[in-house]
Structure 1
Amino acid sequence: MRKSILVAGGDLRQVYAANHLAEAGCSVTALGFGEGLPFTSAVKQSKDWSALSEGQTLLLPLTISREHWLNTPLWKGTVALEECLRQLSPDCEIYGGNVTEQERQLAERYGHSIRDFFRVEALTAANALLTAEGAIQLAMEQQPAALWRKPCLICGYGRIGRALLGRLKSFGAEVTVAARKAEQRTRAEIEGATAVDFPQLPEFLPKQQLVFNTIPQAVLGEKELSLLSEDCLLLELASKPYGIDLAAAQKLDRKAILASGLPGKCCPQTAGQLIADTILNWRDERW
């Protein structure tokens, strides 16, 4: 008997995850999606939320809910996350991404736990590569000049920062990395960047033409933004509360683009397949 998986809500990543799970032999039903999406014929689309009571596995999106509502950007309707959890069978396994403590507690209230696929190292590392690719694609679309010899700044040197450096260097960009930890700065230098601590950053800002922020806390405020040239492009890749003061950027007439969640926008098929592969790996462990 094929294992039944319900894919409820989410963006195009979830559409492609559903397709990939169906290709792997699972019986997949999609809930919380509109018409005209690239589902394969192997995926059953349903508008009947009572189907939740029949699923053996529920796949929730990366960013599960917003203000208690299931995150359903591709559907005009709304459904409360609590209502979804209330209908599940007692033995249903639940997977989701970036699970909040509030969501965990809500699931526990109904006798369930949510396994967070975005805590899997292989997935988060791959997601960083997709984010870097998407950020560079966006930058090239927004600016008329080549990356070759372009002065670029990366704020933060975690997974995304490292992925960005490698790709920018391959284009011949001149990259500066701003990082607080000495070991991160040393690694950035070894990997071909100029590395600075944040107190040193103001002297490097005027020459930058492209800035990528990966730090989810304030690092580029009005003072720092005022030092950038007017034609500098800033891409905010971090989650809230963000590292770039977007209001200050607007006030100073600096072009800053909120570009969080790029894999879901630039390469949703690959991102969705990665999510599905993570679920399938867990399936092999438990089913």
Structure 2
Amino acid sequence: MLTGVQVVFIGGDARQLEIIRHLAELDASVTIVGFDQLQNSFHGVVRSGLSDSLFESADALILPAVATDDNGTINAIFGSEELKLTDKHVSLLPKRSSIYTGMAKPYLRKLSEKHQVQLVELFDRDDVAIYNSIPTAEGALMMAIQNTDITIHGSHCVVLGLGRTGFTMARSLQALGAKVKVGVRRSEHMARAFELGFEPFYVKDLAAHVANIDLLFNTIPTMIVTAQIIANIPNRAVIIDLASSPGGTDFRFAERRGVKALLAPGLPGIVAPKTAGRIMANILSQLITEQAQERGNQA
């Protein structure tokens, strides 16, 4: 239980609603900012505007999946006013508190470091990334089905990267009967891909493996699907880039050549916000509980 723990939410999307509900059920004292247009009501949850006093008593500050933009503005799709996290706000947080988000840009990292407030980026955690790879793969499959006139079964697919998302993506395609090649950068991933029944190759040789593909899924967040690669891809093929924006594809050249290329970051929050929210809620409740227990031990 989180009785007595002060949690402040600022902004967010549908994922945030599951986290709010879960922490309130654990008896945390929850205040939400940027939800004034939300019709849902949460028992025991306080709605508020953005004020300095919120920060002074917060044990945990929970921000959206992408905490802020480069100027501190917070995305709040259920709010009617622009919200901005300032230097003063972070300075008011008690040293015992933590800031939780999916991923932070340099703006927030610098503020948390300056004021010595712990910043926790959930998307850096293996457990969160692995859980999130499930709705990511399902969303990518949905996009593939919507943007092709063939079945996944029997299609020729390339997945770039055998990390947490790439692994789930390749396995999902294989389960549906696709012929799956996997581009890897490390020898141990080459061995693992072979053991799993994929056809592995090193990404440096990508140009030699795209001449007859139907679908290409990229999970590597660097420019890897270059103009040279796209020039070798059939016009019928579809590229679905799952890497963090701006992705790893030359979208301008793809459009010029008539190859459909789609950037699709953040799929869990788009295709399955309830599931994505539950994933984050479970991890957050565990982390906040551990934080509260640590404070109790130090008292």
What TM-score do you get using the length of structure 2 for normalisation?
Answer: 0.87
Which residue in 1 is equivalent to 2:72? 69
Residue 259 of structure 2 corresponds to 254
Give the partner amino acid of 2:55: L
Provide the C-alpha distance between the structure 2 equivalents of 1:83 and 1:57, rounded to a whole number of angstroms. Answer: 17
Determine if contact 1:12/1:272 at 8 Å carries over to the other structure.
Answer: yes
Q: Out of 77, 90, 96, which is 1:85 matched to?
A: 90
Q: How many residues align?
A: 287
Structure 1: gaps spanning 5 or more residues: none
Offset from partner CA, 1:113-145 (integer Å, 9 cap, x none): 212333332112212222222211222222232
SS in 1 for 2:104: coil
| Contact 2:36 2:47 (8 Å CA) reproduced | no
Shift of 1:278: 1.3
Matched, 1:153 2:144: no
Instruction: Identify which of 126, 135, 140 aligns with 1:135.
Output: 140
Residue equivalent to 1:238: 243
Unaligned runs of 5+ in 2: 293-299
Q: Which whole-Å CA distance do the structure 2 matches of 1:7 and 1:65 have between them?
A: 13
2:35 is aligned with 1:33:
yes
2:169 to 164, 170, 189: 164
The one of 41, 57, 62 equivalent to 1:59 is 62
Mapped pair 1:117 → 2:122: yes
Moved more, 244-253 or 123-132: 123-132
* Deviates further, 135-144 or 267-276: 135-144
Paired residue for 1:281, among 281, 286, 292?
A: 286
Say which is worse superposed, 148-157 or 227-236, in terms of deviation.
227-236
Q: 1:83, CA displacement in angstroms? A: 4.4
AA at the equivalent of 1:59: I
Secondary structure in 2 aligned to 1:160? helix
Assess if the C-alpha contact under 8 Å between 1:217 and 1:240 holds in 2.
Answer: no
* Contact 1:147 1:172 (8 Å CA) reproduced: yes
Deviation at 1:111, TM superposition (A): 4.2
For residues 241 and 258 of structure 1, do their structure 2 counterparts lie closer, same or farther at Cα, with a shift above 3 Å needed? closer
Matched-pair contact (CA < 8 Å) for 1:31–1:49 = no
2:15 is the alignment partner of 1:13 = yes
The SS at the match of 2:211 is: helix
Partner amino acid, structure 2, of 1:277:
N
Distance 1:237 1:146 in 2: 20
Counterpart-to-counterpart distance in 1, 2:135 and 2:147: 18
Deviation at residue 37 of structure 1 after TM alignment = 5.8
Q: C-alpha offsets along residues 177-236 of structure 1, whole Å, 9 cap, x if unaligned?
A: 111222212211211211112343223212111110000111111121122122211111
Distance (Å, rounded) in 2 between the aligned partners of 1:242 and 1:72: 21
Contact 1:216–1:239 at 8 Å: present in 2 too?
yes
Q: Distance in 1 between matches of 2:160 and 2:181?
A: 9
CA distance in 2, matches of 1:199, 1:115: 34
Contact 1:104–1:113 (Cα < 8 Å) also in 2: no
Query: RMSD across aligned C-alpha pairs, in angstroms?
Result: 2.2
Supply the AA of the counterpart residue of 1:29: T
Could you tell me how far apart the structure 1 residues matched to 2:151 and 2:76 are? Answer: 34
Check 1:172–1:2 CA distance in 2 against 1; reply closer, same or farther (3 A cut).
same
SS of structure 2 residue aligned to 1:208: coil
What is the Cα deviation at residue 42 of structure 1? 4.6
Deviates more, 1:97-106 or 1:56-65: 97-106
